[in-house]
Amino acid sequence: MSQPPPPPPGGPFGSVGTYPQEPPQPNDHDLSRPAYQASRYQFGSSPEADQVLATNPRRRSNAAVLGLSLTGFIGAALVAVSAFLPWTGGALADDAAAKPGDRSIRWLWDLKALTSGSPKLIVPILVAAALVVVGAVVRPGRWLLAVGGVAAVILGGLHVKQLNALTVPNDPSFLRLVGIGAWLCIVGGLLAIGGWFIVRRDR
């Protein structure tokens, strides 16, 4: 009598590994995923990297709002305070029109119009400060940050230019004639413009 053929390798159901394998299911903690690769590149390899990456845009937004509030309000405060401080110093420190409340706005383009005419220089300074405050508080009006900041820088810059015209042209010594108020107005305007750039970068 003939012997039955031996069973195939791997048991009666054929060789091991001949059945189709199910594709591997994605793992939420699979470090080969693109999100993890990006998070490992930015934050280092850690179990919390994916969660940090997912919440990172919101953190950036919160940081932008905080930076906007700080720079905006500080800039507005500096511009507003500058309206009540002397804009001339040195030999002109005791000038009758040292403060913007006594100096005509026409002074910015007419050296002879020191105190004559209205409105006074304090008016556009306070308007610029108000625009910066509105831009820092009202979300649709963020662009007012740039408008108020640019206006403050222009006001301070024109004042410095006029003081330079009173002395030898391009002589750095004229800077001693610039009062603390003009410098604060320029710095406050630059801070307001910086707050506007923070918002634009976060978009």
Q: How many domains does the chain have?
A: 1
Q: Are 153 and 108 in contact (CB under 8 A)?
A: no
Q: For the chain, what percent of residues have pLDDT higher than 70?
A: 62
Q: What is the mean pLDDT of the chain?
A: 75
**What's the confidence (pLDDT) of residue 83?**
93
Q: What percentage of the chain exceeds 90 in pLDDT?
A: 30
pLDDT of residue 177: 87
**pLDDT of 203 higher than 60:** no
Integer angstrom CA distances of residue 82 from 3, 23, 41, 96, 185:
110, 70, 47, 17, 6
Q: Return d(Cα 125, Cα 152) in angstroms, integer.
A: 7
Q: How many Cα neighbours within 13 Å face the side chain of 112? A: 0
Q: How many residues does the chain have?
A: 203
Instruction: Indicate whether 67 belongs to any domain.
Output: no
The residue behind tokens 């604060």 is 184
Q: Which residue has the higher pLDDT, 10 or 84?
A: 84
**Residue 176 burial class via C-beta count within 10 angstroms: exposed 0-12, middle 13-18, buried 19 and up:** middle
| Digit-coded pLDDT (tens) for 171-189 | 777 888 899 999 999 999 9
For the residues of 55-69, what is the DSSP string, one character each?
HHHHHHHHHHHHHHH
More confidently predicted of 168 and 31: 168
Tell me if 91 is assigned to some domain.
Answer: yes
Residue range of the domain that includes 148: 75-202
94's tokens: 């005791």
Domain contains 169:
yes
Position 45 in a domain: no
Reply yes or no on whether the pLDDT at 67 is more than 80. Answer: no
Does the pLDDT value for residue 31 go beyond 50? no
Q: pLDDT digits over 99-143, tens only?
A: 898 898 998 998 888 777 778 999 999 999 999 999 888 878 788
In whole angstroms, what is the distance from residue 160 CA to residue 175 CA?
8
Q: Tokens at residue 119, please?
A: 């409105």
Residue 55 lies in a domain: no
- Per-residue pLDDT for 80 more than 60? yes
Band of pLDDT at residue 9, cut at 50, 70 and 90: low
Q: How far apart are CA 137 and CA 149, in angstroms?
A: 15
Out of 37-46, 67-76, 193-202, the most confident range is: 67-76
Q: Could you give the CA distance from residue 148 to residue 133 in angstroms, rounded to a whole number? A: 9
